[in-house]
Amino acid sequence: MSDGTLATPVGRPTLEEVARVAGVSRATVSRVINGSPRVSPDVLVVVEKAIAELDYVPNRAARSLVARATMSIALVVPEDTHRFFGDPYFADVVQGISDRLDDSDYVLNLQLTHPSSPSEKTKRYLLGGNVDGAIVVSHHSGDHFLTSLSRSLPVVFGGRPIGEAKDRDYYIDVDNRLGGVRGTQHLIDRGRTAIATITGPADMPASVDREQGWRDALAEAGLSDHRLARGDFTEAGGIRAALALIDEHPDLDALFVASDLMASGALLALDERGLRVPDDVAIVGFDNSKYATRGKVGLTTVAQPAQEMGVVMADTLLRLLAGESPPRVTTLDTELVVRDSS
């Protein structure tokens, strides 16, 4: 009985090549790919190693000829559990996705994976015909599996992906660089000249782009961009980064922070050091989440429409699944929301 694979384009590894490298039958490789329990652990390891070595991706289009639609969509988030449930950005995105899927017959299932690469179990699940499409949020540049996933099934990214397929991927984003420019320019317009930044991980496009916006605004104003600390988009990371900046650059008079969650941590750090906001140090965050208004000082922030992003992500994927041709790139607007911190 056929496993649903067809002829493979020139240069792309075939199922037969995987079987040859692993030293097993074609049927055994097929069972591994489709998540069958009838494979011994030792054989599973050998086949998965061969799949990884060859960078083999099953032909989703061919498999669909023999498999019914699952009416299921995977939400893949390459973050640990604490970050996912602790950051309101994800809650807003998921709400938007759920709102759009409510009008469809599709159900959503969540796949939390390691930032550098999904587990082998998750890979088998995503490639095994268990979902009709996927939405990937919070992508890290080191994860080559997720950037290649679109070769096997329809995928929409939340945020600009980095990788060899970026020019043909579908993604929804905001102009993070422009948001960084807006937030930093606001501090410049307030007369601040020693403006530091707390940026996010270097392997995330949103972090890279917001940092670039900070640099561009400072360069345009003829100001130095050497005051930088890298955070991890958590409140604790914001505290650590802010304390390091205060110690290393006691002259700093402003902070552009790449997320409200880290900015909330920076506010705590400044308070601990006896620095007044905005008198001594002005702060601008990014997101306009609940963290912007929960403390003693309202946080000026660059607002991004996270819930709307979720709606558009889901809508784009539904259109792909329906055989339509939605825009490959949708860029939503940001706006500056001014509060007491600046």
User: Would you call 14 exposed, middle or buried from its count of C-beta atoms within 10 A (0-12, 13-18, 19+)?
Assistant: middle
Strand partners, 171: 157, 329
Shared-domain flag, residues 124 and 150: yes
For residue 52, the enclosing domain spans 15-63
Residues 312, 233, 206: CA angle, nearest 5 degrees: 45
Distance (Å, whole) CA 166 – CA 189 = 36
Assign residue 53 the CATH number of its domain.
1.10.260.40
CA distance linking residue 40 with residue 329, whole number of Å: 43
Residues 267 and 118 in one domain: no
Q: Is residue 235 part of a domain?
A: yes
Inform me whether the pLDDT recorded for 64 exceeds 50: no
Flag whether 4 is in a domain.
no
Exposure string (b/e) for 255-277, b if CB count within 10 Å is 16 or more?
Answer: bbbbbbbbbbbbbbbbeeeebeb
Q: What's residue 79's pLDDT? A: 86
Same domain, 154 and 248: no
Of 48-62, 149-163, 285-299, the range with the highest mean pLDDT is: 285-299
Contact (CB, 8 A) for 6 and 47: no
Number of domains in the chain: 3
Q: Are residues 186 and 266 in the same domain?
A: yes
Q: Are residues 214 and 270 in the same domain?
A: yes
Mean pLDDT of all residues in 297-314: 97
Examine the domain organization and report whether 292 and 244 are in the same domain: yes
Position 161 in a domain = yes
Q: Quick check: is 287 in a domain?
A: yes
Query: Looking at the domain assignment, is residue 326 inside a domain?
Result: yes
- State the Cα–Cα distance between residues 183 and 255, nearest whole angstrom: 10
Tell me, yes or no, whether 7 lies in a domain: no
Q: Are residues 201 and 116 in the same domain?
A: no
Tell me: do 286 and 229 sit in the same domain.
yes
Longest dimension (CA), the chain: 74
> Edge-to-edge strands of the sheet including 107-112?
107-112, 72-77, 133-137, 155-158, 170-174, 329-332
Residue 193, pLDDT above cutoff 90? yes
Q: Does 84 fall in a domain? A: yes
* Alpha helices for 190-229 (secondary structure H): 205-221
pLDDT number for residue 68: 58
Q: Measured between alpha carbons, how far is 334 from 14 in angstroms, rounded to an integer?
A: 45
User: Does residue 335 surpass a pLDDT of 70?
Assistant: yes
Average pLDDT, the chain: 88
Q: Are 154 and 136 part of one and the same domain? A: yes
72 close to 318: Cβ distance less than 8 angstroms: no
10 part of a folded domain: no
Q: Is the domain of 265 the same as that of 282?
A: yes
Residues 39 and 140 in one domain: no
Average pLDDT over residues 121-125: 86
- Are 77 and 165 part of one and the same domain? yes
Please report which confidence band the pLDDT of residue 28 belongs to, taking 50, 70 and 90 as the band edges.
confident
pLDDT score for 144:
67
Q: What is the pLDDT of residue 189?
A: 98
Please report where in the chains the tokens 């032909």 appear, as a residue.
59
CATH classification at residue 123: 3.40.50.2300
